[in-house]
């Protein structure tokens, strides 16, 4: 862990910028996207054999396999999945906009906005270093809460040529409309263009590795996306009231995802920083994911010393992370001042792990400082606004001259004439 002052951290972040994709990743994804666009299912079979090491004949997984995976899941995990699903539905269904909003902007002029669900979406569930049934629930159930009639899941093959059994079990619980054994950039391209067996959809959501992120970047416009996800991020502010082992465990819980995971700890004193560092080293050494944690937790975590709330807020806002934990007394005093965070956990009894699984809020979150403008995945990502503009003869008289004057001023005479002729 590297310990620095708040002043030094802020100076470094001033010079920070979003990382560009590596040239090897960019060029590889370009080739994959072009191959899928030209070759359809045949190209998907070749790519899956070469990149995943398995041969797939039919990319759509039979529903009987989902049901079998569900029945073979241990009762305790089934109960946990069901409880998580219940909470996701409860939260996301309350977020869904209800009814139409009509605004009478002038006599005879009204603008009405209606939220309508997308006709279909694809949900990408990673399958590399871990299985993510919770992510399947987060995506599919949120899409269902928005009213999306067709929600598909894509996930990379395991050695048996199927997605992870828990991914299939979660798809069964969420009542997805199809599961496709597809991973990487080729999965994104398949849903963007459609193939003989994979449906073309207007939007794809979900996290993934660098190749998935780059495919979403390159295909945005051909297909809608939620975000371009980078490595997972966690920032913790902890005061002296919180046990160092708790803090280290929370950092480790995020860091164990990936060697490139990014963790930041903000504490008031160097003594507290050293206590957490020692706890983190013990934790990493004892973990079955020790190789990952040695890099992401022990070597890469940055500890910032901030002696007052003003510095804490400035550091967290500059970092703009995916997750923030406020492990302190009266966390609201910090939380109310934060704008740039994907999600914020308040108090010492609210680790980010609870949000990953159990609170009902979505864990598909903005990364790479995109929390400066982006929000967590929600029903709004699966809906779009349809706007109706109604103008009668009275309305034409009341606002027509505005359009005439501005059309002429912009040098677009037919814009003005389209209104002027009606006014006559």
Mapped onto helix, strand or coil, the DSSP state of residue 319 is helix
CB 339 within 8 A of CB 375: no
Residue among 139, 134, 162, 161 at smallest CA distance from 151: 139
* Residues in a beta bridge with 324: 235, 344
CB 239 within 8 A of CB 268: yes
CA distance 37 to 31: 10
Place of tokens 């910090």: 334
Q: Catalytic pick from 164, 172, 257, 323?
A: 323
To the query of whether residue 24 is one of the catalytic residues in this protein, the response is no
* 7 Cβ contact partners less than 8 Å away, ≥ 6 residues apart: none
168 dihedral zone (left: phi>0; alpha: psi -120 to 50; beta): alpha
Q: What are phi and psi of 293, to 5 degrees?
A: -65, -30
CB 255 within 8 A of CB 261: yes
67 dihedral zone (left: phi>0; alpha: psi -120 to 50; beta): alpha
Q: Is the dihedral of CA 272, 278, 282, 288 positive or negative?
A: positive
CB 61 within 8 A of CB 181: yes
Residue among 59, 276, 77, 253 at smallest CA distance from 166: 77
Token pair listed for 135: 């992510």
* DSSP assignment letter at 60: B
Token pair listed for 79: 């109960």
Token pair listed for 7: 């002043």
Q: Catalytic pick from 322, 388, 410, 415?
A: 322
To the query of whether residue 363 is one of the catalytic residues in this protein, the response is no
Whole-angstrom CA distances from 168 to 75, 128, 175, 235, 273 are 16, 15, 10, 32, 42
| Buried/exposed code over 197-215 (b: 16+ C-beta within 10 A; e: otherwise) | ebbebebbbbbbbbbbbbb
CA distance 349 to 351: 6
Chain mean position to CA 57: 30
Catalytically annotated residues: 322-323
């Amino acid at each position: 862990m590297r310990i620095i002052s708040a002043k030094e951290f802020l100076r470094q972040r001033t010079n920070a910028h979003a990382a560009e994709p590596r040239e090897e990743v960019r060029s590889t994804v370009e080739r994959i996207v072009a191959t899928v666009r030209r070759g359809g299912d045949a190209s998907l079979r070749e790519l899956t054999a070469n990149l995943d090491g398995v041969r797939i004949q039919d990319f759509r997984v039979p529903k009987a396999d989902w049901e079998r995976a569900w029945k073979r899941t241990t009762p305790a995990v089934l109960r946990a999945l069901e409880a998580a699903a219940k909470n996701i539905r409860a939260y996301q269904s309350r977020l869904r906009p209800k009814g139409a909003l009509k605004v009478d902007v002038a006599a005879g002029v009204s603008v009405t906005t209606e939220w309508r669900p997308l006709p279909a979406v694809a949900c990408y569930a990673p399958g590399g270093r871990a299985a993510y049934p919770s992510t399947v629930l987060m995506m599919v159930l949120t899409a269902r809460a928005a009213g999306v009639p067709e929600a598909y899941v894509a996930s990379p093959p395991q050695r048996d040529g199927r997605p992870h059994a828990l991914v299939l079990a979660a798809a069964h619980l969420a009542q997805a409309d199809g599961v496709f054994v597809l991973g990487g950039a080729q999965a994104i391209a398949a849903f963007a263009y459609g193939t003989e067996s994979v449906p073309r959809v207007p939007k794809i959501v979900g996290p993934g590795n660098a190749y998935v992120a780059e495919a979403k970047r390159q295909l945005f416009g051909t297909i809608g996306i939620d975000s371009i996800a980078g490595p997972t991020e966690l920032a913790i502010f902890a005061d002296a009231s919180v046990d160092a082992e708790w803090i280290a465990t929370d950092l480790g819980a995020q860091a164990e995802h990936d060697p490139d995971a990014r963790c930041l700890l903000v504490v008031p004193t160097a003594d507290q920083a050293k206590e957490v560092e020692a706890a983190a080293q013990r934790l990493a050494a004892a973990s079955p994911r020790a190789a990952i944690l040695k890099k992401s937790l022990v070597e890469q975590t940055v500890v910032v010393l901030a002696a007052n709330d003003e510095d804490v807020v400035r550091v967290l806002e500059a970092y703009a992370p995916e997750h923030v934990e406020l492990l302190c007394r009266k966390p609201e005093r910090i939380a109310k001042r934060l704008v740039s965070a994907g999600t914020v956990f308040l108090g010492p009894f609210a680790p980010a792990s609870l949000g990953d699984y159990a609170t009902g809020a979505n864990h598909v979150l903005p990364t790479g400082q995109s929390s400066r403008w982006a929000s967590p995945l929600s029903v709004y990502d699966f809906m779009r606004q349809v706007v109706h503009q109604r103008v009668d003869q009275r309305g034409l008289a009341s606002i027509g001259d505005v359009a005439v004057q501005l059309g002429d001023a912009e040098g677009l005479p037919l814009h003005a004439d389209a209104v002027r002729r009606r006014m006559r």
